[in-house]
A = this chain, B = another copy of it.
Amino acid sequence: MSKTESKGRAKRADNCPSHIHPTPADYRGIYMISPSGAVREPAALALACERLGGMGFRTAVDRTALAVDQRFAGTDAQRAAAFTRAIKQKLPIVMATRGGYGLSRLLHLLDWQAIADSGKRFVGHSDFTAFNLALLAQTGAVSYTGPCACADFGGRKLDALTPDLFAETMRGELEILSFEAPGADAVDCRGVLWGGNLAIVASLVGTPYLPKVRGGILVLEDVGEHPYRVERMLTQLLHAGILARQKAIVLGRFTDYKLAPHDQGYDMDAVVAWLRGVVKVPVVTGLPYGHVPTKATLPIGAKVGLATEDGMAYLVLHEHHHDHGQDHGHAQDHAAHGHCDACGHDHGPSHAPGEDHAH
Contacts and interface: CB of A to CB of B under 8 A. Distances in A.
Interface string A224-248: 0000110111011001101000000
Contact of A235 (B104, B232, B236): B104
Interface residues of A, number: 39
A229 B101 CA distance: 9
Given A203-B202, A206-B205, A262-B38, A232 B101 contact: yes
Copies of this chain assembled into the complex:
2
B203 A235 contact: yes
A108 B229 CA distance: 18
Contact of A263 (B70, B206, B232): B70
A279 interface: no
A233 B266 CA distance: 26
A265 interface: yes
Contacts of A203: 202, 232-233, 235-236
Contacts of A207: 205, 236, 239-240
Contact of A239 (B202, B208, B231, B233): B208
A60 interface: no
Most buried by B among A70, A71, A72, A209: A71
